[in-house]
Structure 1
Amino acid sequence: MPSLRRNSLAEQATEAIIDLIEDKQLRDGDALPATAELAEMLDVSVPVIREAIAGLAAIGLLKRQQGRESTVSIPDSSHMSRLLKLRAAGTEVEDERLQEFREIVEVGNASLAAGHRSDADLEALDEAMQQLRSVRTTEELHAADVAFHAAVARATANDLCELTLEALEPLLWRLRRRVWGGWVAAGGGLDTIVEAHSTILEAIRSGDASGAARAMTDHLAQARTGLETALDAGAERDELTA
């Protein structure tokens, strides 16, 4: 590993440690070399290594324990979620942009799910559909909706799809409430939402990738209608309507 002799040594050390993790194929819970050993390997001071390790721990890639060497930690959706929330807050991401991104993610998820769903995935989707059909409050509606779309993401058999949707959920929860208020204000009801989810499920069940993508697109068009109405009228209704 080459010595680091340029500016921003802590940043360079950070990248070098990440490269080390990849090169040695370290997994969750594996220990890094000792701080002094890393400093010698990279030809930098111990404080530089400590700063790099602190930065990697802050983003969830390492865990630090008192009196022990740092260990590798695989970031999960909570780490990505915090980054997305900070990004959204720092740049004032508009709900329209969030809806656009959701459409890209969820339509792709539906298409992949149709090609990779297992019996266990279909059972989870059926359970989520039962929850949707029995909701009585908006909180139950949003929870059932989250469960359904999470089950679609799991059915893709692609960890990145599931990770991305999980990370988006805190932002999507806010969006869902706004969309529902607009949907009700536009004259929409629960039955059509439930039917849209059922159509998605049946396309996934039958292995129809293009049909699943189309059904998800149609469902998210409902969400877009609700969002546009909410933006136009400031709708904030919460009650369920048949």
Structure 2
Amino acid sequence: MSRAIRRNSLTEQATDALLDYIAERQLGEGDSLPPTGELAATFEVSVPVIREAIAALSGIGLLRRQQGRESVVAAPGATHLSRLLTLRVAHAAVEDDAIQQYREVVEVGSARLAASNRSEESLRELDDALADLRAVADDESLHAADIAFHAALARASGNDLFVLTIDALQPLLHRLRRRVWSGWVNSGGDLTSIVEAHATILERVRERDADGAARAMTDHLAQARLGLDVLSGHVGDSPARD
């Protein structure tokens, strides 16, 4: 059976070549690339192709173009990743259940690492986040405080990938939290039990109890799972949870 062979465009090849160039030379944030003419000669393509490749990498935050000067290497932040993930999720019709599964894997690991790696500064940030959570006055402030607590926990983990991905997923997680909260309230759940679940996570982190922090996060996410199942009408299909 014959199979079609897809050929990448010159721009795509030049984009990949630029990424390899940056990696091979270990260029970091703020380092300049050679002029476009020099890059074009290096990769044996036209200057317009190099400009298109630079534009593509600038669009995803890996390069920063400067008027009249060479482009410089940039470090894409959570905003760039958030845009990509939001578009990807919308295009692929990713359901809330998949986002919840992500939380159940990543945030348990984040809590475990936070207990092992937390500093006094990160504990103060978590204390402040918990205080904000205790003081919420409405649903929107609840969701904002909840997101802030989990983001602080990711920073306490010391793992930049946790921080980046959790920050980038905030718009999607905010949407999920609104649905989960609605289901949680419909199931008879209240704010006090949610706040205390966060307090338990923080105490396990404070005590450097990695296993305990992971269990506390698992228990908290079971609250979120129940809320989601109630809203989806799948409570009877879900295994019993303690």
Tell me the TM-score normalized by structure 1. 0.91
Q: Tell me if 1:100 matches 2:101.
A: yes
Number of equivalenced pairs: 228
Deviation at 1:65, TM superposition (A): 2.1
Cα distance in 2 for residues equivalent to 1:147 and 1:29? 30
Taking only the aligned residue pairs, the percentage that are identical comes to 62
1:75 is paired with a residue whose SS is coil
What is the aligned partner in structure 2 of residue 82 from structure 1?
83
Equivalent position amino acid for 1:162 in 2:
V
Q: Tell me if 1:175 matches 2:176.
A: yes
Cα distance in 2 for residues equivalent to 1:66 and 1:31? 13
Runs of 4+ in 1 over 4 A off after TM superposition: none
Equivalent position amino acid for 1:142 in 2:
H
What is the aligned partner in structure 2 of residue 238 from structure 1?
none
What is the aligned partner in structure 2 of residue 39 from structure 1?
40
Deviation at 1:66, TM superposition (A): 2.1
What is the aligned partner in structure 2 of residue 127 from structure 1?
128
What is the aligned partner in structure 2 of residue 240 from structure 1?
none
Alignment of 1:14-53 (within 5 A): 14-53=15-54
What is the aligned partner in structure 1 of residue 238 from structure 2?
none
Where structure 1 has 5 or more consecutive residues not aligned to the other structure, the ranges are: 1-5, 234-242
Deviation at 1:22, TM superposition (A): 1.3
Deviation at 1:7, TM superposition (A): 5.6
Can you list the C-alpha shifts for 1:113-155, whole angstroms capped at 9, x where unaligned? 0000000000011111111111111111111111110110000
Cα distance in 2 for residues equivalent to 1:171 and 1:15? 29
Cα distance in 2 for residues equivalent to 1:199 and 1:27? 40
Cα distance in 1 for residues equivalent to 2:143 and 2:121? 23
How much is the aligned-residue C-alpha RMSD, in angstroms? 1.3
Where structure 2 has 5 or more consecutive residues not aligned to the other structure, the ranges are: 1-6, 235-242
What is the aligned partner in structure 2 of residue 202 from structure 1?
203
Equivalent position amino acid for 2:160 in 1:
D
Equivalent position amino acid for 1:15 in 2:
D
Equivalent position amino acid for 2:21 in 1:
L
Deviation at 1:8, TM superposition (A): 2.5
What is the aligned partner in structure 1 of residue 163 from structure 2?
162
What is the aligned partner in structure 2 of residue 237 from structure 1?
none
Cα distance in 2 for residues equivalent to 1:158 and 1:226? 29
1:64 is paired with a residue whose SS is strand
1:207 is paired with a residue whose SS is coil
Tell me the TM-score normalized by structure 2. 0.91
